[in-house]
C-alpha cells in the first residue's frame, strides 16, 4: 500500500481502516534511524505539531521529526526515480563506451493519413505496404517510393516520415523529387501533387534533389516550409538544416527565402527577398561563400566532416547519431578539427581518431561521455 499525505491525514483524523493503521504504524516504527534536529526553533515547531496529531504515537520527542524526514525522503526518492526512468525512456543505456555502436537500422517511421505509424525497418527491401488507395514500396537501395493512381485522388492525402536518434530515410515524392532525411527529422508531404504548387513541410534537416515539373507550359514551383523560414525552389540540389543551426547550403540551381515560416496549404503570399547561388550558405541573416559545399551533406554521404568544426560542434552531431550524451570540457570545446570519419564506426573509434588530432581524454560515467 502506498503511503501519502492523504493516508497520514486520515490516520490523524482517526478515519483509517485497521489495515491502513497497521501500515502507518509500521512505517512510524522504522523512523529511529533519522537524527534529531539541533535547531531549537525547529524542535519547538515539531512539539507543537505533535500536540495537533494525537493519533500518532510519540515514544520520544524526535518521532515527529522522523516522520517528516522520512516523508521528505519518500517524496524525494519517488520524484528522483520518476525523473530517472522518464529520462531513460529517451535514451539507450550503455554499460561502457565499447557498446556504443553505429546505428544498423533506419530508425524511421512513416505516419499515414489516419495517424497510423509503421516502422520502416519492418518493411524489407522490395516489399510493399498496402495503404488506403496507394502502396508504399521499399526499393533494393532502401528508397521509399509511392505507387498511386492520380485519378482516384479526390483530395490531398499527407504522409509523414520521421527519423529518430541515429535514423535516416530516403524518399522519392510523387513528382520525382528525392529527399534524404537526417537523424531526428521529419518530412510531411502529399502522396500526390495537385494544382500549380508543390510543397512539403520540414523539421530538422533534409537534402533535396528537386525534380523540374511543368504544367500548362509553366514551371511548377516547389516550396519547403519550416517554422522559421520558407524556401522556394525551381529545380535544384540543396541541404536545408532547420535545426538550431538554421543553414541552407546550395549545391546546384537557385533558391529563394522568405523572412518567416509557413505551413502547408497556407493561404497568404510570401515574399521571397533573399536569393543564393551555388556554393553559398544562408543562415537566416547573412549569405556566406562555402570553401567546400559538400561538407554540408557529409551526413547524407555517410561520414562526419571535421573540417572547420570544433569539438563542441562535433559532440552535438555525435550525440544525435549515437544516442549518448556527450559533455565537453571548456578547455577543448573550441579546438578546431580536420579530416573526416565514417559514420558507420563505433563511437570509441571516432573518439580515438579525434584524440590523434588533438590530445584529449574521454571517460564514460552514468551513461554520459566526458571529453577533457
Dump pLDDT digits (tens) for 76-90: 444 444 444 444 444
Higher pLDDT, 93 or 53: 93
| Overall pTM > 0.75 | no
Dump pLDDT digits (tens) for 241-261: 999 889 999 999 999 999 888
pLDDT band at 93 (very low <50, low <70, confident <90, very high): low
Q: Is a pLDDT exceeding 90 seen at residue 208? A: yes
What's the pLDDT at 118? 95
Query: 189 has which bridge partners?
Result: 159
Mean pLDDT to the nearest integer, 42-64: 43
Question: d(Cα 17, Cα 84) in Å, to the nearest integer?
Answer: 34
pLDDT band at 195 (very low <50, low <70, confident <90, very high): confident
Question: d(Cα 145, Cα 171) in Å, to the nearest integer?
Answer: 6
Q: Is a pLDDT exceeding 70 seen at residue 297? A: yes
Question: d(Cα 225, Cα 188) in Å, to the nearest integer?
Answer: 10
pLDDT band at 303 (very low <50, low <70, confident <90, very high): very high
State the sign of the Cα–Cα–Cα–Cα dihedral 90, 92, 93, 97. negative
Half-sphere exposure of residue 245: CA atoms within 13 angstroms, side-chain side: 19
Question: How many Cβ atoms sit within 10 Å of the Cβ of residue 6?
Answer: 9
Cβ proximity of 70 and 315 under 8 Å: no
Higher pLDDT, 38 or 152: 152
Residue 146's nearest CA partner among 121, 123, 171 is: 171
Question: d(Cα 67, Cα 249) in Å, to the nearest integer?
Answer: 62
pLDDT band at 201 (very low <50, low <70, confident <90, very high): very high
Question: d(Cα 155, Cα 158) in Å, to the nearest integer?
Answer: 10
What residue ranges of the chain are covered by domains with CATH 3.55.50.30? 302-371
The CATH class for the domain spanning 302-371 reads: alpha beta
What's the pLDDT at 36? 46
Q: Is a pLDDT exceeding 60 seen at residue 102? A: yes
What's the pLDDT at 30? 53
The CATH class for the domain spanning 100-295 reads: mainly beta
Half-sphere exposure of residue 291: CA atoms within 13 angstroms, side-chain side: 2
Question: d(Cα 304, Cα 354) in Å, to the nearest integer?
Answer: 11
What's the pLDDT at 371? 93
Q: Is a pLDDT exceeding 90 seen at residue 330? A: yes
What's the pLDDT at 4? 52
Query: 290 has which bridge partners?
Result: none
Cell of 64: 515527529
What's the pLDDT at 26? 62
Q: Is a pLDDT exceeding 50 seen at residue 74? A: no
Cβ proximity of 169 and 108 under 8 Å: yes
User: Out of 64-68, 220-224, 358-362, which region has the weakest mean confidence (pLDDT)?
Assistant: 64-68
* β-bridge pairing 325-328 and 368-371: parallel
Looking at every residue in the chain, the average pLDDT score rounds to: 81
What's the pLDDT at 24? 64
What residue ranges of the chain are covered by domains with CATH 2.60.120.1440? 100-295
Amino acid at each position: 500500500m502506498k503511503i501519502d499525505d492523504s493516508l497520514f491525514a486520515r490516520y490523524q483524523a482517526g478515519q483509517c481502516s485497521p489495515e491502513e493503521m497497521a501500515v502507518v504504524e509500521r512505517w512510524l516504527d522504522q523512523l529511529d534511524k533519522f537524527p534529531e534536529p539541533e535547531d531549537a526553533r525547529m524542535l519547538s515547531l515539531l512539539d507543537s505539531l505533535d500536540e495537533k496529531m494525537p493519533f500518532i504515537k510519540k515514544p520520544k520527542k524526535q518521532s515527529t521529526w522522523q516522520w517528516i524526514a522520512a516523508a521528505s525522503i519518500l517524496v524525494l526518492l519517488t520524484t528522483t526515480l520518476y525523473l530517472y526512468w522518464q529520462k531513460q525512456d529517451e535514451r539507450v543505456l550503455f554499460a561502457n563506451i565499447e557498446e556504443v555502436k553505429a546505428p544498423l537500422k533506419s530508425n524511421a517511421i512513416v505516419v499515414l493519413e489516419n495517424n497510423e505509424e509503421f516502422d520502416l525497418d519492418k518493411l524489407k527491401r522490395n516489399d510493399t505496404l498496402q495503404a488506403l488507395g496507394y502502396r508504399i514500396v521499399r526499393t533494393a537501395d532502401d528508397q521509399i517510393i509511392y505507387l498511386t493512381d492520380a485519378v482516384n485522388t479526390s483530395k490531398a492525402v499527407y504522409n509523414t516520415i520521421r527519423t529518430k536518434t541515429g535514423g535516416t530515410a530516403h524518399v522519392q515524392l510523387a513528382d520525382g523529387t528525392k529527399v534524404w532525411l537526417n537523424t531526428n527529422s521529419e518530412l510531411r508531404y502529399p502522396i500526390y501533387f495537385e494544382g500549380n504548387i508543390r510543397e512539403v513541410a520540414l523539421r530538422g534537416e533534409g537534402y533535396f534533389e528537386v525534380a523540374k515539373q511543368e504544367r500548362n507550359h509553366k514551371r511548377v514551383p516547389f516550396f519547403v516550409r519550416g517554422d522559421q523560414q520558407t524556401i522556394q525552389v525551381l529545380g535544384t540540389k540543396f541541404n536545408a538544416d532547420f535545426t538550431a543551426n538554421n543553414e541552407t547550403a546550395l549545391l546546384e540551381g537557385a533558391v529563394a527565402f522568405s523572412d518567416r515560416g509557413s505551413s502547408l496549404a497556407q493561404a497568404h503570399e510570401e515574399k521571397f527577398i533573399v536569393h543564393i547561388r551555388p556554393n553559398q550558405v544562408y543562415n537566416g541573416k547573412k549569405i556566406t561563400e562555402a570553401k567546400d559545399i559538400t561538407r554540408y551533406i557529409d551526413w547524407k554521404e555517410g561520414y562526419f566532416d571535421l573540417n572547420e568544426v570544433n569539438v563542441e560542434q562535433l559532440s552535438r552531431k555525435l550525440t544525435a547519431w549515437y544516442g549518448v550524451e556527450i559533455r565537453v570540457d571548456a578547455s577543448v570545446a573550441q579546438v578546431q578539427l580536420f579530416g573526416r570519419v565514417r559514420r558507420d564506426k563505433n563511437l570509441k573509434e571516432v573518439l580515438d581518431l579525434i584524440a590523434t588530432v588533438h590530445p584529449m581524454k574521454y571517460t564514460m560515467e552514468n551513461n554520459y561521455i566526458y571529453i577533457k
